[in-house]
Structure 1
């Protein structure tokens, strides 16, 4: 388990004992509605996954942990990122289906694993349990659908970032060589006049322009990646989405 996920567990432990207020209000739902969905309805909705989203946000881990209220969508996000499995491990996100269907569509609760025993017993921190509180729980595998592995996504994203940086540096070196090796010539010099040959300063200016173009391209690439994450991010949904319909689900979990 990475130090980042240990930080998440530590922050979750600091929330133990927090409970719903009147009407089912929680600070996690209030934050989610104001920050992620811009919808005040979330302030009094089932909040097990919003607790995890709030924790990731507080630590700056949203990109590789996800921001969700609807638990099946969070599970699908892990599946889509090739970070889904059935082995319990500390720092994994555990998804439950209390009906026992064992399907992603049936998932209706989530928590974070803090430790796992050899016999499959897991020790977790979960929100919206025991009457609407944040608690530590000990469970077997009976209702577990699967596990999401945030560390796997984080590692993959770090690898993609390193590849982008390496590619940009390679492009910069290539442009530098081209600029250095390309001769500068002038055409249309009137007869009888001597063409002025540009000195080292001209080549240096061309090199500077090439490097500035590389930097600009890199910034555009990063901005495009961020915009794509926002526009297709896990928190986006329309008014008729399953997440809306899911608000009718039972508020209490074992």
Structure 2
């Protein structure tokens, strides 16, 4: 009769070593494999989060390059795309948002790591698509606008526009300035009087939030023959329109093209 041979017993240390190896293998395996929705292992693969973006763009729409404008208040109006103007300024930077810097007779700053503050000339921070420089003296001037981050540093690539104008020069006829406000779907006046042949500047203030308005001048109320049609702006915003009044005295017609029934008036040329 053969004697039974018992397997050697493992010591406590050997059992502990084996347990440690088993736990380590399980941990390594679980870290390299992710479970799919059905419980089967799939290899974990990092995915790139790529969001297409469109570059911002800004263009000065008024005054135009080389324009002659009357001395006094000069309004710069711009068209801004693919960028959101936010309040307040100075908060942490975020892609696609910030504000504008308007410059008068200044070199546009280009240092991406410093606030866009020119060494000379005037500048102002704004979240509006227009700004009026007050009491601009006669002579040659340049007007610029730049898109900047919330912390006032320029966005990269640089986005800006500049026009050169002559204030108080190249203005034919009598220079006449008119203030016109649109509010509650109405003009603040139904009569504008100007000299015959005058170079007319209309400081236009659209106070209706989210509502588009403009100023358009026609020979009569049929609006069949235009004298001047201004750009439509959505309020609250300001701009200035410049046109030459008819040389023949008489009563002409103006309106808002967006609201041709509610917003009308007479342009009296003397």
Which of the pair is proportionally richer in helix? 1
TM-score higher than 0.5:
no
Q: Which has the larger radius of gyration?
A: 2
Higher strand share: 2
> Whose relative contact order is higher, 1 or 2, with alpha carbons under 8 Å and at least 6 apart?
1
TM-score (norm 1): 0.22
